[in-house]
């Protein structure tokens, strides 16, 4: 989606739209909280409008950030957490590496071997930036799209969920996953990803759940990619460097100024 088309016919300037979207996806705020915050700036933006902006822009943000992700390592930690959609619990499958970098995520209405298989397929086809560390750009003033690469895990750590061994066995049988990949079902090894779930759960709490699967998935895409940015997973932007994170997002959408 081109920048011109993304913000076409929007009542507010692109910079204001990105500000609302970024704040909602990064901090534990409700849409009504943002409505009040914008009023302090002299802007009258209804909470339903902010919701529409997030739904429109969050998936696009993930799409534009993906090519700039740093590579993760080959030790994966996989687990699922819960997201309430119309008073029904859905399952958010997530994977991080041994350093806490987010690898992939998938929202599913079911928690079984088929759902686990879909998640692993998505994770195995995820790509990362293959640019050597020495060649990484120190500033995001002109983001370029590097040549992506796929990373095959050496070991996958999961909990005692019986669906995981079934999914892994199927992927190995169909030669999607190499036979040498080790599956470990040791709960304490997954403490890192269970801690990482907390950031996402904190963001979903102000909204009191979602009304449709589609709106939940679009919002989760934004939550996850902002978490990646927060953790310093994008090229040229360090963890904790909020100013550069803001600048990068603006550059990716072509609205910096």
Counting the structural domains of the chain, the total is 2
DSSP state of 147: P
Does residue 30 lie in a domain region? yes
**E strands along the chain, which residues?**
75-85, 88-97, 102-108, 128-129, 148-149, 155-158, 182-185
Is the domain of 35 the same as that of 21? Answer: yes
Rounded CA-CA distance 8/109 in Å is 34
Is the domain of 83 the same as that of 180? Answer: yes
Is the domain of 163 the same as that of 244? Answer: no
Rounded CA-CA distance 162/144 in Å is 42
Task: Per residue of the chain (257 residues), give pLDDT as tens.
Answer: 455 455 554 556 788 889 999 999 999 999 999 999 999 988 888 999 999 999 999 999 999 999 999 999 999 999 999 999 998 999 999 999 999 999 999 999 999 999 999 999 999 988 554 443 333 333 344 455 554 455 789 999 999 999 999 999 999 999 999 999 999 998 778 889 999 999 988 998 887 779 999 999 999 999 999 999 999 999 989 998 999 999 999 998 887 65
Is the domain of 55 the same as that of 160? Answer: no
Angle at 218 between CA 216 and CA 222, to 5 degrees: 110
Is the domain of 131 the same as that of 172? Answer: yes
Is the domain of 85 the same as that of 205? Answer: yes
Is the domain of 56 the same as that of 77? Answer: no
Does residue 226 lie in a domain region? no
Return the CATH number at 90. Answer: 3.30.420.10
Contacts of 212 (CB under 8 A, 6+ apart): 85, 86
Is the domain of 9 the same as that of 80? Answer: no
Is the domain of 33 the same as that of 116? Answer: no
Q: Residues 22-46, buried b or exposed e (16+ Cβ, 10 A)?
A: bbbbbeebebebbbebbeeeeeebe
Q: Which domain holds residue 112?
A: 73-215
Does residue 22 lie in a domain region? yes
pTM score, whole prediction: 0.86
DSSP state of 234: B
Rounded CA-CA distance 167/173 in Å is 10
Does residue 220 lie in a domain region? no
For 177-180, which contacts have Cβ atoms below 8 Å and span 24 or more sequence positions? 177/120, 177/124, 177/152, 178/152, 180/154
Is the domain of 114 the same as that of 158? Answer: yes
Does residue 227 lie in a domain region? no
Q: Give the three-state DSSP class for 135.
A: helix
Is the domain of 79 the same as that of 202? Answer: yes
Does residue 83 lie in a domain region? yes
pLDDT at 16: 86
Is the domain of 85 the same as that of 186? Answer: yes
């Amino acid at each position: 989606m081109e920048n011109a088309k993304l913000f076409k016919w929007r009542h507010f300037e692109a910079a204001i739209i990105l500000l609302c979207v970024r704040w909602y996806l990064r901090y534990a705020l409700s849409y009504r909280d943002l409505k009040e915050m914008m009023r302090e700036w002299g802007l009258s933006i209804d909470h339903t409008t902010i919701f529409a902006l997030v739904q429109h822009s969050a998936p696009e943000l993930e799409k534009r950030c993906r090519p700039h992700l740093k590579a993760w390592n080959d030790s994966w930690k996989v687990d699922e957490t819960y997201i309430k959609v119309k008073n029904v619990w859905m399952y958010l499958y997530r994977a991080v590496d041994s350093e806490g970098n987010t690898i992939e995520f998938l929202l599913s209405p079911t928690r079984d071997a088929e759902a686990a298989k879909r998640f692993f397929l998505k994770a195995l086809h995820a790509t990362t930036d293959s640019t050597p560390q020495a060649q990484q750009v120190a500033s995001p003033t002109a983001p370029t799209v590097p040549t992506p690469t796929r990373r095959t895990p050496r070991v996958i750590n999961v909990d005692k969920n019986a669906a995981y061994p079934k999914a892994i066995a199927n992927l190995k049988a169909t030669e999607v996953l190499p036979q040498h990949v080790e599956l470990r079902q040791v709960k304490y090894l997954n403490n890192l990803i269970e801690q990482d779930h907390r950031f996402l759960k904190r963001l979903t709490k102000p909204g009191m759940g979602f009304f449709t699967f589609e709106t939940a998935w679009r919002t989760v895409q934004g939550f996850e990619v902002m978490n990646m940015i927060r953790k310093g997973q994008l090229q040229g932007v360090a963890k904790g460097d909020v100013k550069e994170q803001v600048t990068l997002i603006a550059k990716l959408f072509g609205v910096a100024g």
